[in-house]
Structure 1
Amino acid sequence: MGDTGDILVVIPARGGSKRLPRKNVLPLAGKPLICWTIEAALEAKLNARIMVTSDDEEILAIARQYGSQGVTAYKRPDELATDTASTADVLIDAIKAEQAAGHDPKTLVLLQPTSPLRNAEDIRGALDVYREGRCENTVVTVCEVDHPTAWVGTIAEGARLEGIDLSGKRSQDYQKEYRLNGAVYVARVDWLVSSGVVFTERLCASVMQREHSVDVDELLDLRVCEAALSNQK
């Protein structure tokens, strides 16, 4: 059964971004984007250590503002700040930094800063699935897809649409399907370090609302989040 004692929450945030430059520090509803994830981690009250790992001094300075609440700002090595650096390598580096500081994390919670609508309840929900112990290694958050994937196809030569289910079934006639939303991952530290990968062949899913599952990758996503947060006020 998964043990969530000695939890390390890792928030990885590079300074660079090609599609939406400096996205992790862009203003969103009155504060930098990354603040929404840091504050959600704090509000989850996991009795965990929280680490922001970044190559960027502005991001690290933001993280240090939460130092009195237990958030650690960790400057990752330059080689882990490139487009080719894997998430697993960044996480393993964070784990080793924790171990070098005298801590012994058993459970890792990964929170991407580009999911600002994910809240404390979503984080706790993923940990609840992990606690149930039906998953050997990793829990991932998912949300229901907007439309059946049977309605997804490709466009071939001559503008021909291919691969679409043309049976005329209604969307509710299809089995429910879910997609990764990238908001929360929960994994065993020993598995992650020994295997060098985040995902395994046997994942468990924690379901989140679609409304909480926006991943900020371009300006439109940021505007959607702005509108959603404004409606919550």
Structure 2
Amino acid sequence: MSAVAIIPARGGSKRIPRKNLLPFDGVPMIARSIRTALASGLFERVVVSTDDREIADLALAEGAEVPFMRPAALADDFTGTAAVMVHALGELPAFDFACCIYATAPLLQARYLSEGLDLLTQHPDKSFAFSVASFGFPVQRALTLDEEGALTSLYPEFRQTRSQDLPEAFQDAGQFYWGRRDAWLRGDLLFSPASLPVILPRHLVQDIDTREDWKRAEYLYAALRAGGELS
């Protein structure tokens, strides 16, 4: 059984410019994902897929590999993760499993990476295993704004349903996605019954797309480190 980690990290982030390189608690953001992947001991290779020379140089300095540069056509605002993974796998020798690890996942823990690989090996009929977290409140009771700016139910049919009677819902935690190599190359759907959940506690999850997200992640990281959950 062989596994490769692939960390997508393009240079052209818009909402937080150069976010993959910005210091997070004194360490470049992408360096945290690289270090966690390497320390996990799960991967034969840790590869960074980037179109950016500065990101590539940092990745190499951190012990990752950059055996190819990502073409510009796969580094725009519209290219999805799956296309980046297919390209990377086409440039690499065959591995049984490939794990996409996001560069902006400072709360990532190796134990959950290991759990994802264990899940896939135990369920040969499944294609993927990836990080999720439960919503803190039933999504069926969500509110939205109408065209006049007034509140209305997003799902009116659940307006009178007690929250405890509604099924639990989960969100993509945006940290990692384990997949069988053939599943990535076939284009199997991630959000489907072909996938298994690695359920993370909500306090270990923070997607980072905006400055507000970044600040919240810093607060979470500081609290978790103080509590001994992160090194």
Q: TM-score, normalised by structure 1?
A: 0.86
- In structure 2, the partner of 1:108 is 98
Instruction: Determine if contact 1:187/1:198 at 8 Å carries over to the other structure.
Output: no
**Cα distance, 1:201 vs structure 2:** 3.1
Query: One-letter code of the match for 2:28?
Result: P
SS at match of 1:184: strand
Match of 1:94 among 88, 93, 96: 88
What is the CA deviation profile of residues 33-55 of structure 1, one whole-angstrom value per residue up to 9, with x for unaligned ones?
11111111112111421101101
**Cα distance, 1:172 vs structure 2:** 4.5
What is the CA deviation profile of residues 10-58 of structure 1, one whole-angstrom value per residue up to 9, with x for unaligned ones?
0000111121111111110011111111111112111421101101111
Q: Does 1:140 align with 2:123?
A: no
Instruction: Determine if contact 1:135/1:204 at 8 Å carries over to the other structure.
Output: no
- In structure 2, the partner of 1:33 is 29
Match of 2:176 among 176, 184, 187: 184
Cα distance in 2 for partners of 1:97, 1:54 equals 13
For residues 78-227 of structure 1, the aligned pairs below 5 Å read 78-99=72-93, 104-133=94-123, 135-158=125-148, 159-162=150-153, 163=155, 165-167=158-160, 169=162, 171-193=163-185, 195-197=186-188, 199=190, 201-202=192-193, 203-227=195-219
Distance 1:179 1:16, change over 3 A: same
Cα distance in 2 for partners of 1:89, 1:176 equals 31
Q: TM-score, normalised by structure 2?
A: 0.87
**Structure 2 unaligned regions, length at least 5:** 227-231
Instruction: Determine if contact 1:138/1:200 at 8 Å carries over to the other structure.
Output: no
User: What is the root-mean-square deviation of aligned Cα atoms in Å?
Assistant: 1.9
Distance 1:198 1:106, change over 3 A: farther
Cα distance in 1 for partners of 2:145, 2:216 equals 28
SS at match of 2:57: helix
Match of 2:40 among 23, 44, 69: 44
Distance 1:198 1:95, change over 3 A: farther
**Cα distance, 1:125 vs structure 2:** 1.4
What is the CA deviation profile of residues 163-216 of structure 1, one whole-angstrom value per residue up to 9, with x for unaligned ones?
3544373x44543221111211111112221x2355263221111111221111
- In structure 2, the partner of 1:230 is 222
Distance 1:197 1:83, change over 3 A: farther
Query: One-letter code of the match for 2:33?
Result: T
Identity within the alignment, %: 29
Instruction: Determine if contact 2:5/2:43 at 8 Å carries over to the other structure.
Output: no
Instruction: Determine if contact 2:4/2:43 at 8 Å carries over to the other structure.
Output: no
- In structure 1, the partner of 2:65 is 72
Moved more, 120-129 or 151-160: 151-160
